């Protein structure tokens, strides 16, 4: 993805960013969407940007479209991405604070942690959520919030009669494996988590947090806010 982002920044064009998964037919990410302005963003992303406040961390920032929008509002925002080419591109686009960094290596305290474009998917699997919430314990400021969007992909298992039958005995249905390719660069396989709102709320409560849906999209997607549980001792 970083190579595709760098190409688009340099020339205004990019070849196909291909996405492969055992569950789906080959797909692709239109690289231009990673450079979209606020007016081109889905409603739930625009809503999240309006709610951002204080010191903000934009996780998996890519080409920096959300970071740039927040900068224009005067928000103190730091963008992180694991791709050096993405970080270089963000600097070229005018992002003031962009770091090549894994989310779990972040230190400091943030009032808002932004995880858009299904950013919570970086968790990968349900059994890695304890690590995610432990990191929030370290970096989410008192009174802080996590704003993240995801999708309930149960619709994938809907039959012609509208009945959803989840596959038995295969783990959580929202744990998917992907691999990406751009030109001759083929990435390593990675897991990505699509978590339904009820499961997110359940897992958050288990770790001393409260998760609530604050906006819904047109196709099973939603925006959630995660807060420290007022009753928790954390």
Contact 85, 62 (CB under 8 A): no
Instruction: Band the pLDDT of 156: cuts 50, 70, 90.
Output: confident
Least confident range from 22-31, 139-148, 201-210: namely 22-31
Higher pLDDT, 171 or 164: 171
Q: What is the pLDDT of residues 20-75, one digit of tens each?
A: 998 888 999 999 999 999 999 999 999 999 999 999 999 999 999 999 999 999 99
pTM score over 0.85: yes
For a pLDDT cut of 90, what percent of the chain falls above it? 85
Instruction: Band the pLDDT of 234: cuts 50, 70, 90.
Output: very low
Can you give the pLDDT at residue 229? 75
Q: What is the pLDDT of residues 93-118, one digit of tens each?
A: 999 999 999 999 999 999 999 999 99
Can you give the pLDDT at residue 128? 97
HSE, CB side, 13 Å, CA atoms: give it for residue 57: 26
Considering the chain, what is the average pLDDT of its residues?
A: 93
Q: Answer yes or no: is pLDDT of 233 > 60.
A: no
Cα 141 from chain centre: 20
Give the helix/strand (H/E) hosting 224: strand 221-228
Least confident range from 200-204, 212-216, 230-234: namely 230-234
Can you give the pLDDT at residue 35? 97
CA distance 22 to 167: 15
Burial (Cβ within 10 Å: 0-12, 13-18, ≥19) of residue 161: exposed
- What architecture is domain 2-154+168-228? 3-Layer(aba) Sandwich (3.40)
Q: What is the pLDDT of residues 76-90, one digit of tens each?
A: 999 999 999 999 999
The predicted model gives 162-168 an average pLDDT of 69
CA distance 111 to 145: 6
């Amino acid at each position: 993805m970083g190579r595709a982002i760098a190409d688009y920044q340099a020339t205004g064009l990019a070849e196909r960013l291909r996405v492969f998964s055992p569950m789906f037919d080959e797909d692709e990410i239109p690289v231009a969407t990673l450079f979209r302005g606020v007016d081109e963003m889905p409603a739930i992303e625009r809503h999240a940007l309006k709610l951002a406040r204080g010191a903000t961390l934009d996780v998996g920032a890519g080409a920096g479209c959300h970071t740039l929008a927040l900068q224009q509002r005067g928000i103190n925002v730091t963008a992180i991405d694991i791709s050096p080419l993405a970080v270089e591109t963000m600097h070229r686009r005018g992002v003031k604070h962009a770091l090549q960094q894994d989310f779990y290596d972040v230190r400091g305290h943030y009032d808002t942690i932004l995880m858009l474009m299904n950013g919570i998917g970086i968790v990968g699997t349900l059994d890695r959520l304890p690590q995610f919430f432990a990191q929030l314990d370290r970096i989410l400021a008192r009174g802080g919030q996590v704003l993240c969007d995801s999708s309930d992909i149960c619709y994938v298992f809907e039959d012609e009669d509208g009945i959803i039958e989840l596959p038995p005995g295969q783990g959580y249905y929202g744990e998917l494996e992907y691999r990406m390719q751009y030109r001759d660069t083929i990435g390593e396989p990675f897991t990505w988590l699509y978590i339904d709102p009820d499961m997110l709320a359940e897992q958050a409560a288990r770790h001393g947090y409260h998760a609530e849906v604050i906006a819904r999209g047109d196709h099973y997607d939603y925006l959630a806010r995660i807060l420290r549980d007022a009753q928790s001792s954390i």
